[in-house]
A and B are shown apart, each in its own frame.
Chain A
Amino acid sequence: DAKTTQPTSMDCAEGRAANLPCNHSTISGNEYVYWYRQIHSQGPQYIIHGLKNNETNEMASLIITEDRKSSTLILPHATLRDTAVYYCIVRRGGTSYGKLTFGQGTILTVHP
């Protein structure tokens, strides 16, 4: 599975949009982009995933560039409870789904 690169940490003001970038320049055609987050001392929580089209759900939006080499997770109105480590993961899809391999992620701190 392709490797991802994320900034170590980011800050965001409460109520503003949080835009978390992820670079996955070696992504293959059958690999999906997944986002999970982990709040302190809890298990990871699924946020969203996509292949090549932009995706939106009740938690966030995922913007994938046309060449698929990078993506951005957008939390439209960040709250203090969104403070967490956010992981961008590239995972093989299709008939044989790949493992979820976690990198270091981005520590997002939402401040008042």
Chain B
Amino acid sequence: GAVVSQHPSWVICKSGTSVKIECRSLDFQATTMFWYRQFPKQSLMLMATSNEGSKATYEQGVEKDKFLINHASLTLSTLTVTSAHPEDSSFYICSARDTSGYEQYFGPGTRLTVT
């Protein structure tokens, strides 16, 4: 099956700093990528949808100026958490949809801890 990677797999940062998470589709082209967030013992919550070369679409309640998404190529999307606070600590998971649209593949997730 298709592979989606994320880097880093975990990161610890200080409050007020910014953190960038990368999501790559390794063996397929992804015109659409998605970013999810998951708090402990909760389900995945969709944060935003990004299409290659255009601005991301954010779900209601997600601050676009805080969670910057860039989808500059068909294999790479980045999520930058700006001015991170402890409440941003979470498991961030990206997902990529192949060009057929049928299937959507998920990355292994990035654990962010803000101290």
Contact = CB atoms under 8 A, between A and B. Distances in A.
Interface of A: 36, 38, 41-46, 49, 87, 93, 97, 99-105
Interface in B59-112: 91, 93, 95, 97, 101-109, 111
Contacts, number: 48
Nearest to A34: B104
A28 B99 CA distance: 24
13 contacts: A38-B44, A42-B109, A43-B4, A43-B108, A46-B1, A46-B103, A46-B106, A93-B102, A97-B101, A99-B46, A100-B95, A101-B46, A105-B43
By secondary structure, the A interface counts as: loop
Contact of B44 (A41, A44, A97): A44
A33 B34 CA distance: 19
